[in-house]
Amino acid sequence: MTTAPAGTVRQVMSFRLRDRVRHWLDSEPVLAYLFMSPGWLILLLFMSYPFFLGIWISLTDRTVGLPSGEFVGLRNYTELFRDRTFHLTVINTFIYGFVTVPFKLFLGLLLALLLNQAFPMRNVLRAALLLPWIVPTALSSLAWLMLYDAVLSPFSWLLKNWGLIESNIAFLGTRTNAIISLCIANIWRGTPFFAVAILAGLQAVPQELHEAAAIEGANRVQRFFAVTLPVIKGIVVITTLFSIIWTFADFQLVYVLTKGGPANSTHIFGTYAWQIGIGGAGKLGIGAAISLYMFPVLAVLSAILLRYVRSQEA
Amino acid sequence: MVGSNRLSSRLVLLYLPLALFTIFLLFPFYWMLIISLKPNNLLLNMKINPLYLTQFTLDHYRYLLSNTDFPRWALNTAIVTFGATFLSLTSSILMGYALGRFRFRGGNVAGTAIFLAYLIPPTLLFIPLSQVVARFGLYNTYWALIFTYPTFLIPFASWLLMGYFRTIPRELEECAMIDGASRFQAMWRIILPLALPGVLSAGIFSFTLSWNEFLYALVFMGSGEMKTIPVGTVSDLIRADLFQWGPLMAAAMLGSVPVAIAYMFFVDQYVSGLTAGAVKG
Amino acid sequence: MTSSAEGRWLGGKLSRRALVRRMVLGVAAPVVGGLLAACAGGQATPTAAPQPTPTAAPAQQPTPTAAAAVTPAAAGTPTATPVVLKGTKLNILFGTFFVPETQDLMKQQLQEFGKETGVEATIDFINWPDLQPKISAAVQAGAGPDIVGMWDTWPSLYKEALVDVQDIVEKRIKGEGDYFDWVKKTVLVGDQWLSIPIGAPTSAQVFRKSALQQAGWPDPTNPPDTWEDLFKVGVEMKKNGMPLGQAFGHSTGDPPSFCYAFMWAYGAMEVEADGKTVAFNKPQFVEGMKLFLSYWKQAFDETGLSWDDATNNRAFLAGQIGWTFNGSSIYIAALKQAPDIAEDIIHHIFPKGPAGRFNNLGSWSVGILKYSKNIAGAKAFLEWWTAPEQFRKWLEIQKGYQVAPTAYYLNDPYYRSDPKLVPYVEAAKYGRNKGYAGLGNEKAAEVFARYIVVDTFARAIQSGNAEEAIQWGASELQKIYGA
């Protein structure tokens, strides 16, 4: 596959052979498969294969200390049906996914529109406001852990100092509080991604159209809907779907902040699968089944995504 | 476009919202910075305002750099990040090129299948994956991560580049090929340079995610000298039921800096690369 | 620079030659190299070791330290040395230690062992919540550390993956006397020793003497001894801004130490001694829970529902609470950071309830994984390290934080020299394993990992309904023990 235009190779090969190889390599299907092979090889070895292994595990009663385990059919899946904590997990995941994404979208759009204007130090601010998305979540979630801490939280301190509250707020102490706190941290982390993607979309908005619309007397809002939105619609849809998928499959934030507590009330798929599978109870089969329950939801979302992409191509 | 009271309108419509965003998005970093500079004996002193520093110390940074293996973690993280980014980018350029420019049977199926990769969360994957990694003898080597990170990088990067390659007119290569260039020459010398912003975007994307990854790094090679920054920080600075907040936050600051700098320089290219890829994608 | 590719194309309608020149200068070389690298990587077969390709990262070769523990002792070319172990490798994985010097000591001990035997041993410490996933993944993969430190109930969880160490344990028992009952119940798997007990940190009540005094407690050096008295004095303490502080979040240390102790003190258990009959929903326990709930708002810091193992340490040292359950880590930290608080601390053993005084205690242990390529070396190390000469050093450096698994060590000066720490040693007498009256087996481990006992309390606090919460707990326990 050393296809580089290396002079030595060329000299050694006879003209006819070279032409034939060249002709063959110029055929699009051959080239296409050749080009895709490294990527697919990696994905097949390190993704598809373990994925099917994962499906197999979900059909067994394998535990962490026992690398085999017996086939139990769909028992793990049906058992979860009766598990109340799992019901709550499903609900939480939906809340987490469908509440945060509109906020991220709205704030991200707003931020993108702002960052698209001209002002001094724009590049610095563009990069700086991306920080929440680009620093390691494992570390930034520790900062949030501290901000929400029952002892060290500066928010509690401030409110206490102003005499608005008497004792520290239990940011992560009740289900409602904890879910709101988790959502805020998630919105914080996700907004910049929306912003940068939409900002990218805005670059494609033709300025002439904007100016023409302005001359015709359209105000800012009208211009946004008439000129800007049609151009960025595609990227908004795609970013939204990606974000829903990522939020659904999130793990780190919830894991660091609540580990699913208090009283299992804040689990999402990732953390519950972790708690049952790898993080203690050791029931790998059920843990895998929990993760795989995500699959239909993600599959539907991806189908929408794909349909959309296709329709744009047509 | 501009009203008579231009300044005040800009103030309300631009600077004020920007300021609010800045506060919301950067406050946690401000907090990290403060804690990383705060002497230990003041940390739990609830009488002083925690929002600014009355004294500051570089002890936590000193501790991090001399009493822990932080420099080594940084080196590991850099090696893995560059390796994984390079591998993903190379595969994604080829993949994106094939999907974006070639007409062939199965092209659509291949494009669809790439998306399916997003359906599989790492939390599900890492147990079976650890078996694969061990079977290939990659356990606790850089290769374990260099080969596994592309699984979540290639799909997005390929998709981005596919969109980008589509924006480049086919006539360009056809023209070059009529002139006697081979398909490869046309690709390497003409199409790729034009796609550079897209490649850069995909590269930055891959770089970021690799730099930040935690779970695989913990499971596949989190031992001894092979820890990455996120794993090393969490495992060495949380001692049983005691969080060493100062060094933890110092590590968070130092761990974020390289990525932040990369963005500072490339943010424009990143954005423009996303533009073509995403809008057309 | 224009922003889209079309723009660049239109704006840069250069001659092909110019394009080519730019390309060659800019990108060609690395991309070609990358192609090669990608192929070399993709074709790696299970047997072939990955070859370092001449790519961007020069140091991609596996370092010969920890990683190499997995491979058979390749370097083992015995040059006429009598010691078989010479040149073999050993990797050990432990949770982090609260007293940082412990980790340095263990590294030193490894070096010493290395000098004596020629074994090249390395040790890693990982923070608690990440320890188990790492062991689990290693077991599934069949590669990883040779020796792991485990919490109570884990030996049952990993029983298929652990090497029998009966011979070493027998030597220990012969030399240092029998283990405590709570040790045996949490480390023994059936009647098999699959790991060697090393004791565990325990909890006790931690009081601020001054807070007790302020609350009008008659004798602050002799703090409340029953749960009810504790709650009562808590009400007064909270009035003075020094409430009781207890964690009820998803955390493996402090929340269980309260909840299990309270459950037992009020006559409930996970299961009967048969290991099958759930004995959780007991009238006495419901009454006890109601009592606790009636005091929750008046006596406790109500943010406790979100606390983890570390929060009460902070809250106590910040002067925000006047009582908590904890290991001696608060006191030891206070000695360094806040001597005035250390001075003001008194420790007391667990409170009594109607059914008695109990303390959740399970022993940590160290075990050897079956996939290890150096089981002989691992055994040699554990035998050497758990013998009093080394083990005592390890206990000593932890200043009594770790309670030894046998009475043999309990009169050592590091347990007795500071009178404030004596209650921790006393607590060992009241130790009961998770899963009591059954064994601390994999079922008890599952109950623990699912936080069922802890969540019963958390549910009760959230809903205010003791009956419902205990019913929920009982039904969850039934699912596990009844199966």
Are C355 and C284 in contact, with CB atoms under 8 Å apart?
A: yes
Whether C140 and B139 lie within 8 Å, measured CB to CB: no
Question: Nearest-CA residue of chain C relative to A276?
Answer: C450
Would you say residue C231 has pLDDT above 90? yes
In chain A, the domains with their CATH numbers are 72-313 (1.10.3720.10)
C214 CA to chain B: closest CA distance, Å? 21
- Which of B188, B242, B244, B245 is the best residue to mutate to test the C interface, defined by the most C CB atoms within 10 Å of its own CB? B242
pLDDT level of residue C7 (50, 70, 90 thresholds): very low
What is the percentage of chain B residues whose pLDDT exceeds 70? 94
- Of A124-138, B254-268, C90-104, C246-260, minimum mean pLDDT range: B254-268
Are C257 and C248 in contact, with CB atoms under 8 Å apart?
A: no
Domain extent for B141 = 58-280
Residues B198 and B172 in one domain: yes
| pLDDT of res. B277 | 61
Would you say residue C6 has pLDDT above 90? no
Residues B42 and B155 in one domain: no
Nearest to A146 among B29, B44, B245 (CB): B245
Q: What is the pLDDT of residues B15-42, one digit of tens each?
A: 999 999 999 999 999 999 999 999 988 8
Q: How many domains does chain B have?
A: 2
Q: What is the pLDDT of residues C306-346, one digit of tens each?
A: 898 889 999 999 899 999 999 888 998 898 888 999 999 99
More confident residue, C242 or A136: C242
Would you say residue C179 has pLDDT above 50? yes
Q: What angle do CA C304, C307, C311 make, to 5 degrees?
A: 110
To the nearest whole number, what is the mean pLDDT of chain C? Answer: 82
Question: Nearest-CA residue of chain B relative to C57?
Answer: B79
- Distance, CA of B242 to CA of A135 (rounded, Å): 24
More confident residue, A124 or C270: C270
Would you say residue C74 has pLDDT above 80? no
Whether C306 and A171 lie within 8 Å, measured CB to CB: yes
Are C120 and C88 in contact, with CB atoms under 8 Å apart?
A: yes
With contact defined as 3+ CB pairs under 8 Å, the chains touching B are A, C
Q: Is A78 on the interface with B (CB under 8 A)?
A: no
Residues B34 and B161 in one domain: no
- Distance, CA of C9 to CA of B172 (rounded, Å): 9
Would you say residue C84 has pLDDT above 70? yes
- The residues of chain C that CATH labels 3.40.190.10 are 84-201+364-404, 204-360+437-481
Residues B44 and B91 in one domain: no
Residues B51 and B147 in one domain: no
Residues B108 and B33 in one domain: no
- Tell me the pTM: 0.84
Would you give the end-to-end CA distance of chain B in angstroms? 32
- Distance, CA of A89 to CA of A269 (rounded, Å): 6
| pLDDT of res. A233 | 84
CATH of the domain at B234: 1.10.3720.10
| pLDDT of res. C69 | 38
Within the 81-110 window of chain B, which residues sit less than 8 Å (CB to CB) from chain C?
A: 82-83, 86-87, 89-91, 93-94
Helix (H, G, I), strand (E, B) or coil at C419: helix
Question: Nearest-CA residue of chain C relative to B83?
Answer: C57
Q: Hey, how many other C-beta atoms are within 10 angstroms of the C-beta on A33?
A: 15
Whether C446 and A282 lie within 8 Å, measured CB to CB: yes
ipTM over 0.90: no
Q: Is A166 on the interface with B (CB under 8 A)?
A: no
Proportion of chain C in helix, strand, coil states, percent, rounded to 5 = 50, 15, 35
| pLDDT of res. B38 | 93
Residues B139 and B35 in one domain: no
Residues B70 and B170 in one domain: yes
- Which of C305, C454, C459 is the best residue to mutate to test the A interface, defined by the most A CB atoms within 10 Å of its own CB? C305
Pairing mode of beta strands C402-403, C195-201: antiparallel
pLDDT level of residue B259 (50, 70, 90 thresholds): confident
- Distance, CA of A257 to CA of A141 (rounded, Å): 7
Q: Which two tokens stand for residue B279?
A: 């809008």
| pLDDT of res. C82 | 43
Would you say residue C31 has pLDDT above 60? no
Nearest to A4 among C4, C32, C140 (CB): C32
A161 CA to chain C: closest CA distance, Å? 15
- DSSP single-letter state for residue C281: -
Looking at beta carbons, which residues of chain C come within 8 Å of A274? Answer: 133
Question: Nearest-CA residue of chain B relative to C339?
Answer: B41
- Distance, CA of B138 to CA of B80 (rounded, Å): 13
Residues B42 and B120 in one domain: no
Whether A126 and B271 lie within 8 Å, measured CB to CB: yes
Nearest to A65 among C35, C159, C449 (CB): C159
- Residue B138 C-beta-side C-alpha neighbours within 13 Å: 27
Residues B86 and B22 in one domain: no
With contact defined as 3+ CB pairs under 8 Å, the chains touching C are A, B
> Hunting for tokens 């995941």 — which residue is that?
A93
Residues 6+ apart with CB under 8 A from B274: A196, A197, A200, A235, B160, B201
Looking at beta carbons, which residues of chain A come within 8 Å of C43? Answer: 41
Nearest to A136 among B90, B115, B211 (CB): B211
C-alpha to C-alpha distances, C127 to B4, B241, C19, C159, C274, nearest whole angstrom: 61, 9, 54, 23, 35
Residues B22 and B76 in one domain: no
| pLDDT of res. B222 | 65
Nearest to B136 among C46, C62, C130 (CB): C46
Residues 6+ apart with CB under 8 A from C392: C409, C412
Nearest to A127 among B32, B119, B260 (CB): B260
Would you say residue C279 has pLDDT above 90? yes
Which stretches of chain A are DSSP H helices? 7-12, 15-26, 28-43, 49-58, 75-81, 84-115, 122-134, 137-147, 154-161, 175-202, 207-215, 220-223, 229-248, 252-257, 269-276, 284-313
Q: Which of B38, B57, B76 is the C-terminal boundary of a domain?
A: B57
Q: What is the pLDDT of residues B209-257, one digit of tens each?
A: 898 888 889 888 767 788 999 988 888 888 767 788 999 999 999 988 8
Q: What is the pLDDT of residues B48-79, one digit of tens each?
A: 888 888 888 999 999 999 988 899 999 999 99
| pLDDT of res. C60 | 39
Residues B52 and B69 in one domain: no
- Distance, CA of B226 to CA of B148 (rounded, Å): 16
Residues across chain B: 281
Whether A280 and C160 lie within 8 Å, measured CB to CB: no
| pLDDT of res. A168 | 85
From A90, A114, A110, A113, select the one nearest A102 (Cα to Cα): A110
CATH label, C84-201+364-404, candidates 3.20.20.10, 3.40.50.880, 3.30.70.1290, 3.40.190.10: 3.40.190.10
Are C421 and C202 in contact, with CB atoms under 8 Å apart?
A: no
Would you say residue B2 has pLDDT above 60? no
pLDDT < 70 regions, chain A: 1-15, 26, 309, 312-314
How remote is the C-alpha of A267 from its chain's centroid? Answer: 17
How remote is the C-alpha of B56 from its chain's centroid? Answer: 31
Question: Nearest-CA residue of chain A relative to B256?
Answer: A135
| pLDDT of res. A15 | 63
Q: What is the pLDDT of residues B120-158, one digit of tens each?
A: 777 778 778 888 888 888 888 999 999 999 998 998 888
Looking at beta carbons, which residues of chain B come within 8 Å of A270? Answer: 121, 123
Domain covering C204-360+437-481, topology? D-Maltodextrin-Binding Protein; domain 2 (3.40.190)
Q: What is the pLDDT of residues B148-200, one digit of tens each?
A: 999 989 988 888 888 888 888 888 878 887 887 777 788 888 888 888 888 88
Q: What is the pLDDT of residues C388-399, one digit of tens each?
A: 999 999 999 988
